[in-house]
Structure 1
Amino acid sequence: MSEHAVRPLTLAWVGEHLEVGERVVGVEALRGGITAEMRRLTIGARGGRTRELVLRTFVGVGDAEDSLKREAGALRLLVGRGVTAPGLVAVDAGGAHCEYPSLLMTHLAGRTVLDDEGLETRVPLLARQLVAIHALRPAERPPEYVALTTADTIVTPKGADAAAWAAAIDVIRRPAPSYEGRFLHRDFHPGNVLFDVPPPGRAGVRISGVVDWAGASWGPADLDVAHCSTNLALLHGPGWGPRFAEAYEEAGGVLAAGASERLYWQVRDALAFSEDVRLVARAWQETGRAELTTRAVEERLDAYVSILMDTLG
């Protein structure tokens, strides 16, 4: 089967959720994801009109049903709440109708931007967007956050600062600090944020939407900030991690009061990346960042962990 093709049962399911006279006339695979197959579907109607939807399919993912239920719930919650996200069209979380668990949603305009150029402008926008997400107060809370990484699952990179990593691992052996819960995206980073980028020479870059809400949770704001910080540190250089946390506070966000509490969440997220460096690097390379080899990402992760231990430890 072509990577662009939609499987027969899934295609039939999509058709059931289209308007009368519409059909799928084009399929494009979307790059950059790690856990799900993403496809942009062009939907044609009578008179030559077209619109676009996005199909998200989980293949061989153990928690697919939970993830798609979370995402569907988040997309319903976000309607009219001031945070632009895709609109939910249909969900088959258990794979009862499709070959695999799937979610169909509207397509948002804009594109991800992972280049170093223009980062100074984008970081404050990312910070303000995350503050807006954390300000949401849903009538029904999503499930509590889950942290899968443990002190025993961390993979210390070859040649890393052994003392810094040992100290960082000791940090997450402690009980999690108490926190005031917030609505979390749980996978907020530049790869899940769409930008409307004007032509060269024109100002006005803005965020046009936030995607991938499969991890929507209830937990500490620090955890979302830590995740975006780590992504920025690995994508653009270790110093960008702490700078994002600063930008979040400048935008009105509130983080844990104590340095040891902040360190716990920042280190927990950074260490979690040690288990998936190869997958993360490959996803970024597919988007055009060929220089972000597994080794390059490991070196940046090592440097970032050292920065955290030096500044907050």
Structure 2
Amino acid sequence: MSSTTPLTDPGARAAVAVVDVTKTYGDRKAVDGVSLTIRRGEFFGLLGPNGAGKSTLVEIMEGLRKADSGSVTVFGESPWPRNTALLPRMGVQTQSSAFFVRQTVHEHLRTVAALFGADRAAVDATLGAVGLDGQHDVRVDDLSGGQRQRLAIASALVHGPELIFLDEPTASLDPEGRRDLWEVLRGLKAEGRTIVYTTHHLDEAEALCDRVGILVAGRLVVTDEPQHLIRTFGASSRLLVPLGRIDEERARSLPGVDGVLVQGGHLVLETRATGRVLAALDTVTGLDGVQTRTPSLEDVYLDLTARRTPLAPNNQEQQA
């Protein structure tokens, strides 16, 4: 893993700088001494189980909640108390976005755009980008859940913000909608926008994010590039061998095999030496029908969240 030393002056080069932030509700620390730097132009994913503190931390960054202790700066300024100078530079989509439900889709987005001084051309372009260009005259309260999600995202993007906060943006989208949104987000990233993204879709985070941070019980346990995390934590590859081709005892004796289990009609061989095990398997039983499953961010995530203990001294950010 890379150095655990935080930036000397994180606010100077950062879109968002969080330093030792804590937020407590009753006797529960929702955010527990988190330090984090999100760079300008970075696509940053914030991951963690339900109740880990993701939404609370993001709302503190947005200026919607006040931290009990520590500091947050956005483009070098404090977002709290509510900093109106920062609002045009930020786009926010929350899990409970509010709508003008009696307006049509186009009217709603025109109203939002007007609040930020964006023109009608931006409204039309944004509706097209999120796949709502055929819903201009549909009332907001007649939209499906997935369509409302698209409108919430459009509302966060219509004024062309530099910093975009998206909280579970694909939660109500079908697979095609998810992939369409991925392309929109990649386009925003290419334009130099900074994106802070929470999601439970680990494949999404692996495909889109420059870096991810994993929160567990309010603490930031690790921050790094997805592929570096996968390499560093050395999640095992899995070789799926059709049942009956080799027995469990023989499979365990193969050089390089770390574990064996039966799953879904296959004998699953866990290994960190894929080539070595494949060569041994080829000698014993051949490779016909053998499938290889390489490690993913999901494997790392499940391992780290199961540990529920911080990996970095003093919970400082691990710089990629």
Report the TM range for the smaller structure's normalisation.
Answer: under 0.3
TM-score normalized by the length of structure 1: 0.25
Higher strand share: 2
| Greater share of residues in helix | 1
Normalised TM-score (structure 2): 0.24
